[in-house]
Amino acid sequence: MTAKIYYDNDADLSHLKDKTIAILGYGSQGHAQAQNLRDSGCTVIIGQRPGGANYDLAKSHKFEPMSVEDAVKKADVVNILLPDEVQGDIYRNSIRPNLKPSAVLMCSHGFNIHFGQVEPPKGVDTLLVAPKGPGHLVRSEFVKGGGVPSLIALGEGASEKTRQIGLAYAKGIGGTRGGVIETTFAEETETDLFGEQVVLCGGVSELVKAAFDTLVEAGYQPEMAYFECMHELKLIVDLFYQGGLNYMRYSVSNTAEFGDYTRGPRIITQETRATMKKILYEIQSGQFAREWILENRAGAPAFKASRRRDRGLLIEQVGRRLRKLMTWIDSKEV
């Protein structure tokens, strides 16, 4: 099965004509999508709480940010671009009571709608348009005349008209310049969580930590362990990005390639694959969502403890020092 992909010619911006789009949250996605839509000729208003840098940013971009409540009251299309863990409460308190009866409710990640934290009233269609990249790229590519590939999904029972609005929205943010893949809320939400847990965030971090610890415990210098197990990862990932596994293998030495084939499968074993299936099941069954929602209700104690613990790791201390020596790295500290 190959995905359905939409391009510029499949989308018509006139479906957003006469519609007011409220962007809730002027963060990574909010600031990018709002400006791109405005540059595409759409009417955009911003719901952003005052007091922080994002409020000032919206002002400096010549928007007049207002409360979430006021923005929702005025809007025909409402896009919730707030952090996923606060969306449920803000939806119940400030969005739902103010929604126009036939508004379209949008998001860029399906978590809250798929797992029932944002439940649209009857008559309100749900729609997902998700750029496959961070907000700053969504903006910078658009300004250059390009666009970041995006996903589109219609909520249960959404109309054909809502699909047209979704395609127009995707065009407005530049998505159809890169291609817009049709998916479902379930597929977007579940694959997104799986990817970040198993590979992108969870899998890779743990792999790097375990390899670093193995070298240091064997008596090698932590600086050497840092370079081999963390720093050089970027070089490899860049090769994947440009030409897949094959290009990485073409670029590294034959010795490295031989080690890859013979040792890799001993690191990611049948047991690891079985665990991946279990993690996928926990996502599909809602067990992970429940855990994360309850964790936040409790004030996120386990989450904060993990953050604290990992910030103190040796690999982080060594890395901080080494990155300062590499002046070409745009090194960051938060």
- Which of residues 133 and 203 has its CB atom nearest to ligand NDP in the complex? 133
Residue 149 lies near ligand NDP (rule: CB under 6 A) = no
Residue 154 DSSP SS3: strand
Q: Pick the closer one to ligand NDP by CB: 82 or 105.
A: 82
Q: From the CB of 314, what's the least distance to ligand NDP, in Å?
A: 29
> If you count DSSP H runs as helices and E runs as strands, how many of each does the chain have, helices first?
17, 8
Indicate whether 84 belongs to the interface with ligand NDP (CB under 6 A).
Answer: yes
Q: How many residues bind ligand NDP (CB under 6 A)?
A: 24
Select the residue interacting with ligand NDP from 6, 26, 63, 194 (CB under 6 A).
26
Which region among 46-54, 215-223, 288-296, 325-333 touches ligand NDP (by CB under 6 A)?
46-54
Closest approach of ligand NDP to the CB of residue 290, in Å: 18
User: Which residues inside 121-140 make contact with ligand NDP, applying CB under 6 A?
Assistant: 130-131, 134-135
Residue closer to ligand NDP, measured from CB, 161 or 304: 304
Instruction: Rank residues 41 and 195 by Cβ distance to Mg ion and give the closer one.
Output: 195
Q: Single out the catalytic residue among 31, 109, 136, 231.
A: 109
What is the enclosing helix (H) or strand (E) of 295?
A: helix 287-297
Residue closer to Mg ion (CB basis): 11 or 151: 151
Output the DSSP codes for 76-126: SEEEE-S-HHHHHHHIIIIIGGG--TT-EEEESS-HHHHTTSS-PPTT-EE
Burial state string for 32-58 with b = 16 or more CB within 10 A and e = fewer than 16: bbbbbbbebebbbbbbbbeeeebbebb
3 state DSSP class of 144: coil
Per-residue DSSP letter, 30: H
DSSP assignment of 197-265 equals IIIITHHHHHHHHHHHHHHHHTT--HHHHHIIIIITHHHHHHHHHHHHHHHHHHHS-HHHHHHHHHHHH
Active site residue 15: no
Question: Should residue 52 be labelled a site residue for ligand NDP when binding is judged by CB under 6 A?
Answer: yes
Which one of 75-83, 154-162, 199-207, 296-304 is the stretch in contact with ligand NDP (CB under 6 A)?
Answer: 75-83
Which residues contact Mg ion (rule: CB under 5 A)?
Answer: 192
Tokens matching residue 58: 């919206």
**φ, ψ at 42 (rounded to 5°):** -85, 160
Residues in contact with ligand NDP by the rule CB under 6 A: 25-30, 48-49, 52-54, 81-84, 86, 90, 107-109, 130-131, 134-135
Catalytic residues: 109
